[in-house]
Structure 1
Amino acid sequence: MGIFDRSTKGQITPSIRITLEPGPLAFFTETIGETNPLYRDRDAARAAGHPDVLAPPTYAVVVGTFADQKAKRAGAPDLLDRINGDLRVLLHGTEEYAYHGLMYATDTLEVENEVMHFTDAKGGKLEIAHIATRISHPKRGLLVEASRRLIHRLG
Structure 2
Amino acid sequence: MALFDRSLMGQTIGPVSVILERGPMLFFAETIGETNPVHLDPAAAHAAGHPDILALPTYAVVIASLADKSLARQGRCDSLKRLGADMRYLLHGGESYTYHAPIFAGETVEVTTEFAGVSNAGGGTLEIARIYQHIVHTDRGPLVTTKRDLIHKLPK
Q: Give the TM interval when normalised to the shorter protein.
A: over 0.9
Q: Does 1:118 align with 2:122?
A: no
Give the equivalent residue in structure 2 for 1:86. 86
Give ranges in structure 1 of 5+ residues lacking alignment. none
User: For residue 59 of structure 1, what is the aligned residue in structure 2?
Assistant: 59
Determine the structure 1 residue equivalent to 2:13: 13
Q: Give me the whole-angstrom Cα distance separating, in 1, the residues matched to 2:24 and 2:146.
A: 21
Residue 102 of structure 1 aligns to a residue whose secondary structure is coil
Q: Which runs of structure 1 show a deviation greater than 6 angstroms over 4 or more consecutive aligned residues? A: none
Q: Distance in 1 between matches of 2:130 and 2:24?
A: 28
Matched positions, count: 155
Q: Aligned to 2:13, what secondary structure does the other structure show?
A: coil
Distance in 2 between the 1:41 and 1:47 partners?
10
What amino acid is the match of 2:129? A
Question: Are residues 1:22 and 2:26 paired?
Answer: no
Q: In the alignment, residue 154 of structure 1 is paired with which amino acid? A: L
Unaligned runs of 5+ in 2: none
> Secondary structure of the residue that 1:14 maps to in structure 2?
strand
Letter in 2 for 1:112: T
In the alignment, the residues of structure 2 paired with residue 3 and residue 49 of structure 1 have an alpha-carbon distance, to the nearest angstrom, of 48
| Distance in 2 (alpha carbons) for counterparts of 1:8 and 1:62 | 23
Q: For 1:83 and 1:45, how far apart are their aligned partners in 2?
A: 39
Aligned CA RMSD, in angstroms, stands at 0.8
> In the alignment, what sits opposite 1:104?
104
Could you tell me how far apart the structure 1 residues matched to 2:123 and 2:45 are?
51
Deviation at 1:92, TM superposition (A): 0.5
1:101-145 C-alpha deviation (Å, 9 max, x unpaired): 100011100011100010000111000101111101011100001
1:38 partner SS: helix
- Of all paired residues, the percent bearing the same amino acid is 51
Aligned-partner Cα distance in 1 for 2:94–2:47? 37
2:39 matched to which residue of 1? Answer: 39
TM-score of the pair, normalised by structure 1 = 0.98
- Partners of 2:145 and 2:83 lie apart in 1 by 20
When normalised by structure 2's length, the TM-score is: 0.97
Distance 1:70 1:123 in 2: 37
